[in-house]
Amino acid sequence: MMADEERELRALLERLKQEHRDLDVAIEALQQMPGSDQLQMARFKKRKLGLKDRISFVEDQICPDIIA
């Protein structure tokens, strides 16, 4: 992998992780509100799971697990 590609992947990884943390905060805030919108919370949680999958994929691109 070229240095430029790795730098771009690391930047993408950081953005994805930041969005994942932001969703954590948003979900917690929704849970604290009485009568919170359950549909919105479900959407946030689904988005968070998708981000987790993308984060894992990008991490594997940066440092693949190679079994000898």
Q: What pTM did the predictor assign? A: 0.86
**pLDDT value of position 68:** 57
- CA pair distance 56, 31, nearest whole angstrom: 27
- Could you write out the DSSP letters of every residue in 2-58? -HHHHHHHHHHHHHHHHHHHHHHHHHHHHHHSTT--HHHHHHHHHHHHHHHHHHHHH
**Tens of pLDDT, residues 54-65:** 999 999 999 887
Q: How high does pLDDT run on average in the chain?
A: 93
**pLDDT value of position 65:** 75
